[in-house]
């Protein structure tokens, strides 16, 4: 099992429709490739964690580097991991009424997502997960 974590800037602001389309494409591709992870967008920045077979994760990252929706792609981590941290999330997303969100398969509030992060991380990964917490508006614990 392998993961890559990267940070990038959007080349243009992403609307809700843009994000819905992007996440729909990610979900479909990731399910076919056996990739799991998380994609966070805020303040014009993307942060993504991709996990799965090393060759597939690397090929997906190479594709991201050439995606015209990103600029300044910076790899933060690229390493083998003992197990998936986001095994049940292939980046599921849908646009629904706020009161219906808890029923959407794969939906988690930022707080719920952060509570389920693994507890035994390396120092570098702990720092990256703290960045994820900050990106989604939570304070690191």
What pLDDT digit, counting tens, does each position of 43-94 carry? 777 888 899 999 999 999 999 999 998 888 988 889 999 888 877 666 534 3
What pLDDT digit, counting tens, does each position of 11-56 carry? 998 887 887 788 888 888 888 999 988 887 777 778 888 999 999 9
| Residue 141 placed within a domain | no
With contact defined as beta carbons under 8 Å apart, do 4 and 31 qualify? no
| Residue 22 placed within a domain | yes
Cβ atoms < 10 Å from Cβ of 126 = 14
- CATH number for 91: 3.30.70.100
The C-alpha atoms of residue 19 and residue 84 are separated, in whole angstroms, by 24
The C-alpha atoms of residue 111 and residue 27 are separated, in whole angstroms, by 21
What pLDDT digit, counting tens, does each position of 81-133 carry? 988 887 766 653 433 344 544 554 444 554 555 455 555 455 556 656 666 65
Domain extent for 33: 2-135
Number of domains in the chain: 1
pLDDT of amino acid 68: 92
């Amino acid at each position: 099992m392998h993961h890559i974590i990267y940070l990038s800037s959007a080349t243009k602001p992403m609307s809700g429709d843009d994000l819905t389309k992007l996440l729909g494409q990610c979900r479909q591709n990731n399910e076919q490739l056996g990739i799991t992870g998380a994609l966070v967008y805020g303040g014009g920045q993307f942060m993504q964690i991709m996990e799965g077979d090393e060759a597939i994760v690397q090929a997906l990252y190479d594709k991201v580097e050439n995606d015209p929706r990103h600029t300044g792609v910076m790899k933060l981590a690229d390493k083998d991991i003992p197990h998936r941290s986001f095994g049940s999330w292939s980046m599921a997303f849908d646009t629904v009424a706020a009161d219906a969100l808890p029923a959407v398969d794969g939906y988690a509030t930022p707080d719920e997502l952060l509570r389920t992060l693994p507890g035994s991380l390396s120092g570098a990964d702990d720092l990256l997960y703290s960045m994820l917490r900050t990106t989604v508006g939570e304070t690191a614990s």
